Amino acid sequence: AQSVTQPDIHITVSEGASLELRCNYSYGATPYLFWYVQSPGQGLQLLLKYFSGDTLVQGIKGFEAEFKRSQSSFNLRKPSVHWSDAAEYFCAVGPSGYSTLTFGKGTMLLVSP
């Protein structure tokens, strides 16, 4: 069975500092991996996705993520956080983007001035 672990429930980062959100997955085959962001009262917005190829993927809003098969990880990074990045971030895995996705429990990002 597929599963996703986001070990950090909350993370606080100072504005302008770098950010890394952790995601570990369990999946029996080559996974499709996703990072979504959810602002309060909003639906989920796709930040980036990985299917194959270059293990460093670029997304919207200056985010990037690196797929490491040996560590079963897909961590999300941003070099300089803005106050508007405060939101909840979800990592997800599935057999494709169209199939049933399994989401982690999310990491709430707080940005301090």
Binding positions for another protein, rule: CB under 8 A: 4, 32, 34, 36, 41-46, 49, 51, 90, 92, 96-101, 103-106
Which amino acid would we find at residue 24? Answer: N
Residue 15 vs 38, nearer CB to another protein: 38
Residue 52 vs 70, nearer CB to another protein: 52
CB of 6: closest distance to another protein in angstroms? Answer: 8
Upper half-sphere CA count for residue 15 (Cβ side, 13 Å): 7
User: CB atoms < 10 A from the CB of 106, how many?
Assistant: 20
CB of 27: closest distance to another protein in angstroms? Answer: 15
Residue-wise burial string across 32-60, b where 16 or more C-beta atoms lie within 10 A, e elsewhere? bbbbbbeeeeeebeebbbbeeeeeebebe
CB of 62: closest distance to another protein in angstroms? Answer: 19
